[in-house]
A = this chain, B = another copy of it.
């Protein structure tokens, strides 16, 4: 299974062209769209989102993950294997949190080059073919990297920021709920939110936070829209009040 995690959008040609490459190289490998609207151009916020959602997938899953504002520039092209899952994409910190939380992780530089490499769409021209190579069982096309290459030790273990707003207007943070206590409140600006179990535990219109289905602390409003009702956007700072 190849899972797509990008900031490309599902509409427009980018996701479709990547799938056309994969389909031609590994026609029997299933393709799953996980996120096509990861935090745009923001490898740091995306790293926390990816780590939370990748953990749900079985070992052997290949993540084709492209949040790549530096495409065409000097950032490396990377493969990471962490706890049995593969990750292919830009070496810009996108895999930092996956690597940090893994019991076992290795990484490789991609030194394979396609016949034609566009300056702006490495997702299609470079990363998709490499993901397909891994899916058909090829070894990583490039040398193993030294420990610590492209790592971001300056990033925190959990990110006090909104990293995703979903279709319902719920606002995911980069904080794992498991590190927060039952009485922990989360604050955004002047607003503070208590922890609840799920939506139906609260009166309509009430803002709260809860552990979402992938373990992230998420701010929501029962029968409302946290983004519109509370003014939350991707990048809003979230403070932990114990």
Contacts and interface: CB of A to CB of B under 8 A. Distances in A.
17 contacts: A1-B23, A3-B16, A10-B11, A11-B37, A12-B164, A15-B33, A16-B32, A19-B32, A23-B32, A69-B199, A70-B199, A70-B200, A73-B201, A74-B200, A121-B213, A124-B213, A125-B213
Contact of A10 (B20, B23, B33): B33
Contacts of A1: 20, 23-24
Contacts of A166: 9, 12-14
A8 interface: yes
A109 interface: no
A70 to B, nearest CB: 5
Count copies of this chain in the complex: 3
Nearest to A20: B32
Given A30-B23, A32-B20, A72 B201 contact: yes
Contact of A210 (B20, B41, B119): B119
A72 B34 contact: no
Given A17-B34, A56-B17, A199 B71 contact: yes
